[in-house]
Amino acid sequence: MEKRVTFSRSTIGILFAVPQLLLIFTFFYWPAGQAVYWSLTLQQPWGGGNIWVGLDNFRSILSNADYWHSISASLVFAAISTGLAMVIALVLAALTDRQLAGSRLYRVVLIWPYGIAAPALAMAFRFILAPEAGFMAVVNRFWPGLWDPGLDGVAAMASIIVAFSWKYVGYNFIFFLAAFQAIPRSLIEAAAMDGAGVVRRFRDIQFPLITPTIFFLLVINITESFQDSFGIVDIMTAGGPANATNLMVYKIYSDGFKGFDYSGAAAQSIILMLLIIVLTIFQFRFIERRVHYR
């Protein structure tokens, strides 16, 4: 889309864009380029020169079982938490959209979790799911040793999934509800006149019309599960036990800033960037579909 009326053909207009261009050059493009450079060199921490090593960094991380483990943990985390957060939010939004008594309250409250910082909610869930105090302790009293995220990798993964899903149910709810409410009321009424009941209307009219939102949220949730999980992992499990929750971003952080392996961390960043770019391109194909209906 373009404006028909503009101010002038002169280049004065470019001045308005200069602040942002400087910012993105300094803090985006340069670092991104730097990451590529580092990933292809062996970088000494705290300066001290670097050696060109080509794709060696990639070779070494891709042949590292820990890295593959981190990727698979990230994918498991992404798949389950996205699935949970989206299905729960979809059901809640669809039911809230029925606008029975009290729906206004739900509309207000259900979005609160998204406002909370990941580390803060992680702290809350660390307590709630703690094996010795809090609520899972009750479970452990009946079946001793059943639940211990500190020792059991599955329990640790389950903990971070619960915490992440809790936050993103709120996020997805906002979008699903907005999507439902964007469906013209008359379409629902027309379907009711055509004889469709509540469930049938959802299946035949509402659900097909919000598929673009579903695809959009799918991509956002997966992307966020790579990024926003950092605070949750750092507070709840610190990647443990035995790397069970060492998700990709957390591994970049711990390899780069705790292990001082800048080159390895840079190579991992590049792989993660590529993954996210692929996802984003995938999303754009579906954004086109969204326009389709109108």
Partner 1 sequence: MVERTPILNLFTHLILFLGFVFCIAPFAIVVIAASHSLKEVNDVPMSLLPGSDFWVNLQTAWTTADLGPKLFNSFVMAAGVAAGKVIVSALTAFSIVYFRYRGRTLIFWLIFVTLMLPLEVRIVPTYAVVANVLSPYQAILDVTGLSWLIEKISGVEVSLNLGLLNSYTGLIMPLVATATGTFLYRQFFLTVPDELTEAARMDGAGALRFFVDILLPLSRTNMAALGTIMFLWAWNQYLWPLLITTDASHATAVTELKQLIPNVGGMPEWHIAMAGTLIVMLPPLIVVVAMQRWFVRGLIATEK
Partner 2 sequence: MASITIRDVKKSYAKAQVVHGVNLDIASGEFVVILGPSGCGKSTLLRMIAGLEEISDGTIAIDGKVVNKLEPRERGCAMVFQNYALYPHMSVAQNIGYSLKVAGVAAAQRNQRIQAVARILELEHLLDRKPAALSGGQRQRVAMGRAMIREPKVFLFDEPLSNLDAKLRVQMRSEIRKLHRRLGATSVFVTHDQVEAMTLADRLVVMNGGRVEQVGTPAEIYGRPASRFVASFVGAPAMNILEGVVALDGISLLEGSRRLPMPRAGLPVGTKVAMGIRPEAVRMVDPGAAGAVEATVDFVEELGAGRVVYVDLDGASFSVVTSESAHPAPGSTIGLKFSPSDMHFFSSETGARLDFFVASLPEPVV
Residues 206-235 that bind partner 2 (CB under 8 A): 208-209
CB of 185: closest distance to partner 2 in angstroms?
A: 9
Residues 6+ apart with CB under 8 A from 67: 61, 251, 268
CB of 227: closest distance to partner 1 in angstroms?
A: 4
CA angle 190, 192, 193 (to 5 degrees): 65
Q: Which of residues 175-194 bind partner 2 (CB under 8 A)?
A: 184, 186-187, 189-194
Calculate the CA dihedral of residues 190, 192, 198, 201 and round it to 10 degrees.
Answer: -40
Q: Is 150 in the site for partner 2 (CB under 8 A)?
A: no
Q: Which of residues 24-53 bind partner 1 (CB under 8 A)?
A: 24-32, 34-35, 38
Q: Given candidates 120, 146, 187, 242, which one binds partner 1 under the rule CB under 8 A?
A: 120
Ordered alpha helix ranges (H), the chain: 14-24, 30-39, 56-62, 65-96, 103-109, 118-128, 136-142, 153-182, 185-193, 198-201, 207-227, 229-236, 248-253, 262-292
Strand partners, 51: 42
Could you give the CA distance from residue 263 to residue 34 in angstroms, rounded to a whole number?
Answer: 10
Q: Which of residues 121-160 bind partner 1 (CB under 8 A)?
A: 121, 123-128, 130, 132-135, 137-138, 141
Q: Which of residues 247-286 bind partner 1 (CB under 8 A)?
A: 249, 252-253, 256-257, 262, 265-266, 269, 272-273, 276-277, 280
For β-strands 50-52 and 41-43, DSSP reports them as: antiparallel
**Dihedral pair phi/psi, residue 132, rounded to 5°:** -100, -25
Q: Which of residues 166-225 bind partner 1 (CB under 8 A)?
A: 166, 169-171, 174-175, 178, 189, 192, 197-199, 216, 220, 223
Q: Given candidates 110, 205, 266, 267, which one binds partner 2 under the rule CB under 8 A?
A: 205
Q: How many residues interact with partner 2 (rule CB under 8 A)?
A: 20
CB of 42: closest distance to partner 1 in angstroms?
A: 14
The entry of partner 2, partner 1, none that residue 174 binds, CB within 5 to 8 Å by partner kind: partner 1
**Which H, E and C letters describe 142-169, residue by residue?**
HCCCCCCCCCCHHHHHHHHHHHHHHHHH
CB of 172: closest distance to partner 2 in angstroms?
A: 22
Q: Given candidates 42, 56, 69, 114, which one binds partner 1 under the rule CB under 8 A?
A: 114
Q: Is 66 in the site for partner 2 (CB under 8 A)?
A: no
CA angle 25, 27, 31 (to 5 degrees): 90
Handedness of CA 92, 95, 97, 101 (dihedral sign): negative
Q: Is 1 in the site for partner 1 (CB under 8 A)?
A: yes
Q: Is 294 in the site for partner 2 (CB under 8 A)?
A: yes
User: What number of other Cβ atoms are within 10 A of residue 216's Cβ?
Assistant: 17
Of the candidates 107, 275, 284, the one whose C-alpha atom is nearest the C-alpha of residue 212 is: 284
Q: Is 104 in the site for partner 2 (CB under 8 A)?
A: no
Binding site for partner 2 (CB under 8 A): 184, 186-187, 189-197, 200, 204-205, 208-209, 292-294
